[in-house]
Amino acid sequence: VLGGCTIMMFGTIVVSGLQMISKCGFTQRNMIIAALSLSIGLGFTECADLFTIFPQMVQNVFAQNCVAVVFLVSILLNLVLPKNMEAEKVTEQKKEKA
């Protein structure tokens, strides 16, 4: 019973996340942020040896907790990636400036 409830809970969390992404739009930027943060977050936690060079506190937070890694990567990508990543918008802006 506990396993079934856990699967249901995590499935509901995934669906809620997809609903949030659909509300803000499936833009190229949003999809890149979601895909990279999930991939990197899950990949880093599968390779826990990656964190051995960091202090013990960092290892405790990030080596065993994929949510923390996903959160950190998504925040960094949100800050780093340009707001207007659509190819059409960039070319239109260049035409307007010319």
Q: Which helix (H) or strand (E) holds 34?
A: helix 28-46
Question: Given a cut of 70, is residue 95 above it in pLDDT?
Answer: no
Q: What is the pLDDT of residues 24-39, one digit of tens each?
A: 887 888 888 889 988 8
- Show contacts of 89-92: CB within 8 Å, 24+ apart: none
| Residue 19 in domain | no
Question: Given a cut of 60, is residue 4 above it in pLDDT?
Answer: yes
| Residue 3 in domain | no
Q: Global pTM?
A: 0.64
**Vertex 14: Cα angle to 5 and 16 (nearest 5):** 105
Tally of structural domains, the chain? 1
| Residue 13 in domain | no
Domain containing 52 equals: 25-84
